[in-house]
Structure 1
Amino acid sequence: MELITVDDVRAAAERVRGVVVRTPLLPCPWDEGELWLKPESLQPTGAFKLRGAYNALAALRPEKGVVTHSSGNHGQALAYAARAFGVPCVVVSPRVAPAVKVDAMRRLGAEVLLVDSDERMESAQAVAEERGLTLIPPFDHREVIAGQGTIGLEIAEDLPEADVVLVPVGGGGLASGVATALKALRPGTRVLGVEPALAADAAESLEKGELIRWPAEMSYRTIADGVRTNLSERTFAHLRAHLGGVVTVTEEEIRAAMLTLARSARIVAEPSGAVALAAYLAGKTPPGRTVAVVSGGNVDPRLLSEVLAIS
């Protein structure tokens, strides 16, 4: 399988310029100057997914519209991009997706179809065939991966001396893109993926050297709804080639990271957005100057209230 290159990421950066927020690197003085946060929660749709979704539409220019399957963040991003290009957007979402994300997709103009968790991919493909729409999956797509990789370009420019970059892993599109960019531009920087122990298919896949898929009933145990998805053959190939490894975090560590982000960094993060910092705070990552990507902030208000109530 042909992997994307840093040139693909650079092309994506040109396409998304002026639409995607170039998020800053925020130093964390409460951590003795060794930690920076990359707050993708500042994107217009509240998560990094806008980078890949907009790049895909800008590259493909679908005339009849687009369809995808998503628990929320990619769906919001694709709806936002589709609205900018003036085309329809359909999102097939699992019934258990957070209501805050489903409502946001609809506000952005998407038609949302709710299905059982294990039917989302097949349902999206069926809609694409029936309506003649272009399917843009949340991670298993070259242009989507290249768009997410623009985060790596920005980190390389803003903190070239970074030793470690921590990236959440769900379907693997974000980690694939960031690792591709940084390995090319800053080969001395180690990119590590982070995922919940309750949805650790990427860690198992890389350990065994083959793609391992976890059933939904296993991965849906984690509160980190944005990273419950398995890798694809495409993202697995990218991670094998470029990623420095995967570490896992517990549910308690994810909640603790959300609390730290809110109290110390004044950043609202959804569980998936907090997993990278969770690994750092738990002492599971190598020492050195570290960037933790806060991938999104679209958190259910009730869950956020529970987390903030932790003493």
Structure 2
Amino acid sequence: MTLPTSADVSAAADRIRGRARRTPVLRAELDGSPLVLKLELVQLTGSFKIRGALNALLGGSRPDRVVTASGGNHGLAVATAARLLDLPATIYVPEPTPAVKADAIAATGAKLVRGGASYAEAAEAAQADADGARYLPAYDDPLVVAGQGTLAAEVVADAPDVDNLVVAAGGGGLAAGTVLGSGGRNVVVVEPEGCSAVHQALKAGRPVDTRVASVASSALGATRVGEIPFAVLKDADIRSVLVSDEEILAARDVLWSHFRLAVEPAAAAPLAAWLAGRVPGELPCLVVCGANAAWTPA
């Protein structure tokens, strides 16, 4: 198994420069305490996933076709990256995928296939269709992980005084990339109580199958952490934090009421942990990772 390194994150940053956006950081104060928000919701496709997709498709030999499975954000990123690189793409999504995400994938011109009740079932169908194509996992790929790590590298460059980087986790790709791109800063990995593949794997000492039941499951609903992300995370000094659905939705409302940021539930998980007092340090950077949800603020 080839593991990505911090040098791979630097190479990814060079590779995707000019294609993915360098998203801004926002210095703010909430309840009298300072914090930094990394506004990845304004990234191309509305989430950080385009970073890993572009790096993976640019980092090896050019495929004739790309195939993937996704609950939405990764699929949209791969479809968009494929369009930018003039590659045909087929995206498999689980049946419960929100229409706002499925419709956005179809709008790129990629072939959209709904199949299976879960990400795991969609991934099985996608892999069966990937003969002769580049199958691109959502998180269990060294180039994908390195691409996601460019987000953390930007934070370190633009806000070098932050002492913690706080990210939501599904299959672990962003969390592992953040460790590699953090410049040695502390990393806090936040998951819903009902979708905690990283937390359960760290507790067991190995990837394990987990249940998925959360308001954020469309983005954080991996049933098992990736082998590559886990190999990076298990040797890193990270903090694993769980938050309830109620805390996530309350944090989503705060992001709107205080900052006018309309986000999907997954993107509010880091703020939920911070509001609950579960994030250490004096100046954390909370990654607001995506905005692809059919939600209209009140």
Q: TM-score range, shorter-chain basis?
A: over 0.9
CA contact under 8 A between 2:166 and 2:285: conserved in structure 1?
Answer: yes
Amino acid at match of 1:204: Q
Q: Distance in 2 between matches of 1:33 and 1:147?
A: 31
Q: Which runs of 5+ in 2 are unaligned?
A: none
1:193 aligned partner, one-letter code: V
Residue 95 of structure 1 and its aligned partner are, at CA, apart by 0.2
Shifted more, 24-33 versus 278-287: the winner is 24-33
Q: TM-score, normalised by structure 1?
A: 0.91
Q: For the residues of structure 1 that align with 2:216 and 2:160, how far apart are their CA atoms?
A: 33
Q: Structure 1: which 5+ runs fail to align?
A: none
1:261 equivalent in structure 2: 255
- Secondary structure of residue in 2 paired with 1:179: helix
Q: Is 1:245 the counterpart of 2:245 in the alignment?
A: no
Match of 2:209 in 1: 213
Per the alignment, residue 73 of structure 2 pairs with: 73
Give the number of aligned pairs: 295
Query: Which stretch has the larger CA shift, 194-203 or 220-229?
Result: 220-229
Measured in 1, the distance between the counterparts of 2:188 and 2:214 equals 23
How big is each residue's C-alpha offset from its partner over 1:30-58, in whole Å with a ceiling of 9 and x where there is no partner? 34352111111101200000000011111
State the distance in 2 between where 1:70 and 1:94 align.
Answer: 7
Alignment of 1:10-159 (within 5 A): 10-116=10-116, 117=118, 118-129=120-131, 132-159=132-159
Q: Cα distance 1:151–1:223, how it changes in 2: closer, same or farther (>3 A)?
A: closer
Contact 2:173 2:226 in 1 (8 A): no
Give the TM-score normalised by the residue count of structure 2: 0.95
Output the amino acid matched with 2:232: H
Distance 1:103 1:178 in 2: 29
Q: Provide the rounded CA distance (Å) in 2 between the counterparts of 1:113 and 1:139.
A: 20
1:223 is aligned to 216
Separation in 2, partners of 1:31, 1:57: 43
Q: Give the counterpart letter for 1:199 in structure 2.
A: C
SS in 2 for 1:52: helix
Partner of 1:190: 186
CA distance, structure 1, for counterparts of residue 139 and residue 216 of structure 2:
20
Within 2, Cα distance between the matches of 1:74 and 1:165? 22
Aligned-residue CA RMSD (Å): 1.4
Determine what percentage of the aligned residue pairs are the same residue: 39
**How many Å separate the matches in 1 of 2:36 and 2:52?**
23
Which deviates more, 28-37 or 236-245? Answer: 28-37
Per the alignment, in what secondary structure is the counterpart of residue 272 of structure 2? Answer: helix
Contact kept in structure 1, 2:192 and 2:214, CA below 8 Å? no
Aligned residue number for residue 292 of structure 2: 298
Question: Which structure 1 residue ranges, 4+ long, deviate > 4 Å from structure 2?
Answer: none
- Distance in 2 (alpha carbons) for counterparts of 1:7 and 1:105: 31
